[in-house]
Each structure stands twice: as C-alpha cells, then as structure tokens.
Structure 1
Amino acid sequence: MSSLLGLLILIADIYAIIKIAQSSAETLPKILWILGVIFFPVLGLIVWYLAGPGGKN
C-alpha cells in the first residue's frame, strides 16, 4: 500500500514539475518551485497546487 502511495506522489510530482516548466513564469521562480517540489514532495505539491507560478485562472 505504501509503495502505491509513493508511486502516486511521484507521478503527481512529475506532473507538477512539467506544468511548472511550461508555465509563463520567469526562470528563477520556476527553478525555485521545481526545487520545492523535489525537496518537499508532498508539501511542495500542495503549495504548488494552491499558489504555483502562473496562478489558477
């Protein structure tokens, strides 16, 4: 069960990193968001979803 949860988090983090890289934000904020998602996989994903670069329009 925990390996399935880990796989789901990994997939969500990869999705977030791709969306961050494709966003219209400037380079430095993108790098900082990607590092946040990499170093804090669950928390970084939640924070990115709520307040990520490019916003939720």
Structure 2
Amino acid sequence: MGLEVSGLLGIIFLVIAIWAIAKIINSGTTTGKKILWILFILFLPVVGLIVWFLMGPKG
C-alpha cells in the first residue's frame, strides 16, 4: 500500500513542479529572476514550491 501511495504522490508533485516552472517561464519577470526561481524549485522542491506560490512572480 505504501509504495502505491508514495508513487502517486511523486507523480502529483512532479506535475505541480512542471506546472510551476511553466508559469515561471511564461511570467513577465526578468530572465535572471526566472532562472533563480527555477533553480530554487529544482534544488529545494517542497520548500521551493511553497515559497514560489507565496512570493513568486505573479501574472
């Protein structure tokens, strides 16, 4: 049971991370900030997504 749940959560997390990176790329912020946000999400996945959701580029 644990393997199926963790696999499903991993897939959901991967989809959310890809969605966040796509939103960052399509945002109107500078290229440097985009790169920093993407690296932040890639190297600190859970914390990075939470911080990006709360403080990331809007629009």
**TM-score, normalised by the number of residues in structure 2:** 0.87
- Tell me whether 1:44 sits opposite 2:48 in the alignment: yes
Superposition RMSD in Å:
1.1
Q: Pick 1 or 2: higher relative contact order, CA cutoff 8 A, min separation 6.
A: 1
| Partner residue, 2:24 | 20
Letter in 2 for 1:23: S
- Structure 2 residue runs of 5 or longer lacking an equivalent are none
Amino acid at match of 2:14: L
Corresponding residue for 2:57? 53
Identity of aligned residues (%): 55
Take 2:13 and 2:44, find their aligned partners in 1: how far apart are those partners? 11
Q: Which runs of 4+ in 1 moved over 2 A?
A: none
The number of residue pairs the alignment matches comes to 55
> 2-11 or 46-55: which moved more?
46-55
Q: Name stretches of at least 5 consecutive residues in structure 1 with no aligned partner.
A: none
TM-score, normalised to structure 1, is: 0.90
Distance 2:46 2:22 in 1: 16
What CA distance in whole angstroms lies between the structure 1 residues aligned with 2:44 and 2:19? 15
Q: What letter is aligned with 2:49?
A: L
